[in-house]
Structure 1
Amino acid sequence: MSPISTALTVAAFAAFAVIGAALAIIDIRSHRLPNRLVALAGASGLVLLAGAAVTGGGIDALLRSLLAALALFAAYLALRMLSAGGVGGGDIKLAAVIGLYLGWLGWGSVLVGTLAGFVLGGLFAAAMLLIRRAKRRTAIPFGPWMIAGAWVAITLTVSSP
């Protein structure tokens, strides 16, 4: 990867970190993922990763990112259709954004990040039930867990040799 491609990739993931943190905080407080912020995360990632691809990061990584974004969007849309309100529209859009970023790193990262989000969210929900701070029908924001799962995958990918 060229220095420019590396810088653009780092900038993309830095933008995701900042916007993702804001999205997590907002979702915890309001159970909403604002379209503008989700779109900003996606658009900034697309522009910066496309720039990284054409400056030496590889068009194959960009194509994989786009496919992963589409795959996670479709998977979360299917989950929404199968669940009775368990997955919100913001979660579906955020899934596409997370797919874009994790797809850049590889299919393994997409799988790990997606599964980690579900595991972390499930553990949190179970803990809330155990300490009686929630009931079976209590709404729990899933966006923060999706983002945390993505960062588990990013961290594991970047830290592995």
Structure 2
Amino acid sequence: MSPPVLLPLLVLAVAYAPPAVVLARIDLREHRLPNRWVGLLTAAVAIGLILCALVEPALRAPLRSAAVLALVLGLGAVLLALLAPQLLGMGDAKTLPAVVLMSGALGGEELLAALLGIALLGGIVGSVLLLRGRSGERFAYGPILLSGPVLGLAGAPLVAAALGTA
């Protein structure tokens, strides 16, 4: 692996994973993502990636793109949560930018695989609930959302093969 990939992996392990695990556990238990933990996650990832960009100049352009995409998708998610709270909770909407930023820092194929993986896993959980006759039941989407960067790493080879870049 080249150094530009190793540094974001370090941020994933050290800055992203610990608060993401805490957030996932809270969401499973209480169906909420507390602002304090979401803020900690977002700040830890942002600071970690800024430090990476200072150490490795080759990361600056990709991280800038990931940050812009995280901001745009985050604003769209907050707007969706405000207009249709039954579709997306505000905690999930506020968590999305950190997930997109972390996934995007790992690479374009990883970001695409993360977004596809989140949608697929969320659809599977929703389908299982429908099949069990629990159509109106809400489920904790935070753990699925927070698994995005790991899903991205796992699915990137499939995305690369599908795009013909493998």
Q: Provide TM-score, normalisation by structure 2.
A: 0.81
Equivalent residues, number: 157
Q: Deviations over 1:86-115 (max 9, x none)?
A: 211111111011111012123333232122
Query: Which residue in the other structure is 1:143 paired with?
Result: 142
Write the distance in 2 (CA, Å) between the matches of 1:79 and 1:115: 19
Q: 1:84 to 1:52 in 2, by over 3 A?
A: closer
Write the distance in 1 (CA, Å) between the matches of 2:113 and 2:6: 25
CA contact (8 A) 1:42 1:97 kept: yes
**Structure 1: runs of 5 or more not aligned:** none
**Structure 2: runs of 5 or more not aligned:** 161-165
**Pairing 1:152–2:155 present:** no
Write the distance in 2 (CA, Å) between the matches of 1:12 and 1:150: 11
Q: Provide TM-score, normalisation by structure 1.
A: 0.83
Q: 1:74 to 1:109 in 2, by over 3 A?
A: farther
Amino acid at match of 2:25: I
Query: Which residue in the other structure is 2:50 paired with?
Result: 50
**Pairing 1:90–2:119 present:** no
CA contact (8 A) 1:16 1:45 kept: yes
